[in-house]
Structure 1
């Protein structure tokens, strides 16, 4: 594209006028060469400072990303389930372990009410009310339904987290699977019941044996006396007197 002659002439005239104005300025207003060098030096230093800050910023961002990744892994793959609930029991946040304990995808559980997974719903609602009333941790043991329909024994430990408004709060909950412990407790209880039943049977047998022993003595005496009397009568020498 060709330049227009009029524009080139105008630029040349503008430059000449600028040079004339610069020459007309007092010497004190004209930037000296050493000032230009100093200014250029400051600009170079400032540029290096910006580059150093940029490197530090990138390093800080990398460290923050690594810390976030570690925190996410600790949160998601912790050996217990972490839940954030509202005061009615609706799930706001949940880690992968908690979702795995319930056998449902995490995205399905977000916005889902835990109340629907509990056989004893009134007990859980009362528990949530108790958590919202106090500032301390509150624990409870109950059963919750797995996705396959089986009941899972769990322990919940919850704490109220306030948003500044007493009526507006959410609940942080730790869910621990205690199915093995509960199964062991039930096994021990069954064994204890069996032992108590055997002990009762043994006591009953010993009591029956003692009663039989006490009855056998007079019965044996009666049997012996009866046999002697029969023999005496059969001998033909009975004496009515």
Structure 2
């Protein structure tokens, strides 16, 4: 029945009703019917708006579900350590279909050597009711180990006991970073072993002229411990003040940064801790940070004191010979 037919039906009912028929005129009945039409139209508009809101909510839920599943981070819901929910990334990391993950204690995927760390993390989050993170070595269902950053946040009713509090947990695969760190550590160890084993002085100073590294040979050669030198200026310790000339150390370093070729190879008279003067042939390299700003100097020095003495003695002998002739 159309809207007009329904309204005509209402009119017949109103006009036939003996009680209201005497009370309502035809004009009054028309006004009532018009009001009913407007009300019906308003309800239909509200229903349409509600339908659109419902569709928007459903679309939002679908998008959130897609975002949850396609996130580059593995997400888990843990209830007393048991997996309740998992996204597709977590499923891929653990190498098991999502449905099969449900109900499995997460400890099953923790490397045995990291069980204590995992339990400490779990207990810490529950007791502090705060977000916490740690790094764990995990093993997927194929037994392959990988490193992960494990970050959890508690959720549950306030004041509830620990047994009713669950964890939202994010798993980020950091295996590449760990491999890079290990490679860097091995490289640094090899570099340090090389630096410490050479029979040359190797020193690094920052852009303020402070000593930040001196190898074993250099410490033995100059007679200083690293504690005595670290953070102190090069001038006034191994480098006599007069060696800097009229320039202060900052000005000297700034000049070296602008004219590195003048100091690439240079023989300088240095001073040991006991005051003894020694000659060192320095090869220097200016250092810069990622932004290209001057960061300091790396220098390798070799003791040429004996050669300098011989050269002086030869010159002295030549002078004496010239005087004698």
Q: Is structure 2 residue 79 aligned with structure 1 residue 92?
A: no
In the other structure, the counterpart of 2:320 is none
In the other structure, the counterpart of 1:158 is 152
The 5 Å alignment of 1:43-58 reads 43-58=36-51
Cα deviation digits, residues 62-111 of structure 1 (max 9, x gap): 2112211221121111111111112x311111111111111111111111
* Coordinate RMSD, CA, aligned: 2.5
Q: Residues 28 and 68 of structure 1: is their aligned pair in 2 closer, same or farther, counting only changes over 3 Å?
A: closer
TM-score (norm 2): 0.51
Q: Is the 8 A contact 2:73 2:90 kept in 1?
A: yes
Aligned equivalents of 2:128, 2:153: Cα separation in 1:
8
Task: Tell me: higher relative CO, structure 1 or 2? Use CA pairs within 8 A at least 6 residues apart.
Answer: 1
In the other structure, the counterpart of 1:213 is none
Aligned equivalents of 1:134, 1:162: Cα separation in 2:
13
**1:30 CA drift (Å):** 4.4
Q: Is the 8 A contact 2:109 2:141 kept in 1?
A: no
In the other structure, the counterpart of 1:104 is 96
In the other structure, the counterpart of 1:38 is 31
**1:129 CA drift (Å):** 0.6
Aligned equivalents of 1:127, 1:73: Cα separation in 2:
29
| Structure 1: gaps spanning 5 or more residues | 1-18, 208-241
SS in 2 for 1:163: coil
* Aligned pairs, number: 182
Q: Is the 8 A contact 1:162 1:170 kept in 2?
A: yes
More strand by share: 2
Aligned equivalents of 1:31, 1:110: Cα separation in 2:
69
Aligned equivalents of 1:181, 1:67: Cα separation in 2:
35
**1:28 CA drift (Å):** 7.8
Query: Which ranges of 4 or more aligned residues in structure 1 deviate by more than 4 Å?
Result: 27-30, 199-203
More helix by share: 1
What is the aligned counterpart of 1:129 among 108, 123, 131? 123
Could you say which structure has the larger radius of gyration? Answer: 1
